[in-house]
Amino acid sequence: MSPLWLRQIGAVLRLELKKTFFSKRGWWIYCLALGPVVITMLHWLFELRRPGDRHHTLGEDSMIFAGLFLFFYLRATIFFGCMGIFSNLFRGEMLEKTLHYYFLTPMRRELLVAGKYLAGLAVALTLFVGSTAAAFLTLSRHFGPAWSDYLYHGPGLSQLGSYMLVAALGCVGYGAVFLMCGLLFRNPLIPAAVVFVWENLNPFLPTLLKKVSVIFYLKSLCPVEVPVPPPFSVMVVESDPTPLWIAVPGLLAVAAVLLIYSGVSARQTEINYGE
């Protein structure tokens, strides 16, 4: 990649970071990222008020966070947060009638896609990976020395690293999906709804179809498995989790393919603000 291309991507990245981080329409994304942290902090503060009257163990807190991460982060917070961030990178410009300013510059469309994606990814990683780490570190803080021992001499740091990796990969995968949706569809909510239904049907799909999703690979990387409660457990189709050395490169490769397709599609994109 030539130095000129790198400078152009950097210029788009700097401009988009300011617009994305301080977007007034994105206030609900910050609420999504802060929601789990508020829940875990309330749990921590509530338990501090009754140190001798605890009815749960550190292991149960670990299972609670695993469920919180799977059902709140992966299926809601990261999914909808990435939808709000990445689908608006192009569609928001169309609504504000400012996209033509980018298209009038002497820059390849692929570089514009790359710069916008990197800006959205930086915002998503800051919010959701940071939120994951904060929620994990505050959930069981009320156990005091036992929590410190679990964190530094037990599996705590390893689990934290795994959760942060999964959150980051979720931002990478869903970000590529929703950037493509915002570029190709006038109403990104329709394809987002289809993706949402498909991702949530994943446990009940045949093994081959399970692999055509982001959530399947993310669940395979989670350090603690969350059992499916009855009666849904009867309908779940069991399948072997994907190993780390396949899941991580596989997700990155899928995101790269989607971004390449978005870059190629951007070449043929025409602006019609009247639609």
pLDDT given at position 86:
94
pLDDT given at position 262:
93
Any idea where the domains of the chain sit in the sequence? 3-48+56-267
DSSP state letters, 80-130: HHHHHHHTHHHHHHHHHT-HHHHHTSSS-HHHHHHHHHHHHHHHHIIIIIH
Average pLDDT over residues 50-71: 81
Considering 150-154, 243-247, 267-271, the range whose residues carry the highest mean pLDDT is: 150-154
CA 240 to chain centre: 23
pLDDT given at position 185:
85
pLDDT at 52 over 70: no
Angle between helix 156-184 and 189-200 (nearest 10): 140
pLDDT band at 227 (very low <50, low <70, confident <90, very high): low
User: Average per-residue pLDDT in the chain?
Assistant: 86
pLDDT band at 1 (very low <50, low <70, confident <90, very high): low
**pLDDT tens per residue across span 158-174:** 999 999 999 999 999 99
pLDDT band at 46 (very low <50, low <70, confident <90, very high): confident
Tokens at residue 202, please? 């994943």
pLDDT given at position 161:
95
pLDDT given at position 244:
83
Cα angle 188, 248, 147 (rounded to 5 degrees) comes to 100
Average pLDDT over residues 11-40: 88
pLDDT band at 224 (very low <50, low <70, confident <90, very high): confident
pLDDT at 232 over 90: no
**pLDDT tens per residue across span 173-214:** 999 999 999 888 888 889 999 999 988 888 777 777 777 888
Q: What is the pTM of this model?
A: 0.91
pLDDT at 98 over 90: no
pLDDT band at 60 (very low <50, low <70, confident <90, very high): confident
Give the whole-angstrom CA distance, residue 146 versus residue 156.
11
Share of the chain above pLDDT 70, in %: 91
Average pLDDT over residues 21-39: 87
pLDDT at 275 over 60: no
Give the whole-angstrom CA distance, residue 256 versus residue 162.
22
Best CA proximity match to 17, nearest among 172, 108, 121: 121
Average pLDDT over residues 63-79: 91
pLDDT at 234 over 50: no
